[in-house]
């Protein structure tokens, strides 16, 4: 339980904020996976559409050749007309297939856009949660300092506090700098102990 600036008491649970962040991160990962799958399906549909267009082009060339042969072989005109009718029907079917492919491509593009929008919304919500958690931590820290001031006395507990800084050897510095100095001290201590141990063995 911590105090706020108005004297009330609020129970804060940073773990809930972290769980919420993890949940949103997992949602983003799932959305990214769905985007990748949709993009793959869209690529496959585009490839299929390209193959279908090539097939139509080949059919058109074949039909033109058939027309040329019909002009040279009038005795086979009846058979040629039947073949032309078949080609026209097949071309109609191919055109219908192209239209269906286009509809599927459009649907896939819409689905991809929807998933992308959901991903961007989840990322924005995650960013908002990060900001709220950071503000919550700052407020919690200030309340703890306020309580320490009331319980133990000392200078005013109000001022500018920065979660990126900490006190190391009675100095306020960046947390990264303090960690580096602490690591150097540990290395220095271990090196000194090693030299001492070697001296005793000698």
Q: What pLDDT band is residue 156 in, cutting at 50, 70 and 90?
A: low
- Assess whether pLDDT exceeds 70 at residue 72: yes
Q: Which residue has the higher pLDDT, 39 or 144?
A: 39
178-189 pLDDT, tens digit per residue, is: 889 889 988 888
Per-residue pLDDT tens for 101-134? Answer: 888 888 888 888 999 999 999 999 999 998 899 8
In the block, residue with structure tokens 């002009």? 71
Evaluate whether 151 touches 11 at the Cβ level (below 8 Å): no
User: Would you give the DSSP letter of residue 170?
Assistant: T
> First vs last Cα of the chain: how many Å apart?
57
- Mean pLDDT over each residue of the chain, to the nearest integer: 78
Residues 6+ apart with CB under 8 A from 116: 35
C-alpha 40/C-alpha 46 separation (Å) is: 10
Please compute Rg for the chain using Cα positions. Answer: 37
Q: Which of 66, 51, 144 is nearest to 98 (CA)?
A: 51
Q: Could you please state the CATH topology (level 3) that the domain comprising 2-159 is classified under.
A: Helix Hairpins (1.10.287)
Q: Which of 12-16, 69-73, 109-113 has the lowest mean pLDDT?
A: 12-16
At residue 4, the pLDDT reads 43
Cβ atoms < 10 Å from Cβ of 38:
19
- What mean pLDDT is predicted for residues 18-34? 81
Name the helix (H) or strand (E) containing 76.
Answer: none
Q: How far apart are CA 69 and CA 183, in angstroms?
A: 89
Q: Reply yes or no on whether the pLDDT at 10 is more than 70.
A: no
């Amino acid at each position: 339980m911590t105090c706020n600036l108005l004297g009330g008491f609020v129970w804060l649970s940073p773990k809930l904020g972290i769980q919420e962040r993890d949940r949103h991160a997992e949602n983003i990962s799932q959305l990214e996976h769905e985007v990748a799958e949709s993009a793959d399906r869209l690529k496959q549909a585009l490839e299929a559409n390209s193959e279908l267009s090539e097939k139509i082009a080949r059919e058109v060339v074949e039909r033109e050749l058939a027309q040329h042969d019909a002009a040279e072989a009038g005795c086979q005109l009846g058979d040629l007309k039947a073949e032309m009718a078949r080609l026209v029907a097949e071309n109609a079917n191919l055109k219908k297939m192209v239209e269906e492919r286009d509809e599927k491509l459009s649907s896939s593009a819409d689905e991809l856009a929807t998933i992308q929008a959901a991903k961007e919304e989840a990322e924005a919500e995650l960013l908002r949660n990060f900001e709220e958690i950071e503000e919550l931590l700052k407020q919690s820290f200030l309340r703890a300092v306020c309580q320490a001031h009331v319980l133990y006395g000392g200078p005013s507990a109000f001022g500018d506090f920065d979660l990126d800084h900490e006190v190391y050897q009675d100095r306020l510095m960046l947390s990264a700098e303090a960690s580096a100095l602490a690591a150097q001290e540990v290395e220095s201590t271990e090196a000194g102990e090693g030299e001492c141990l070697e001296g005793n063995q000698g």
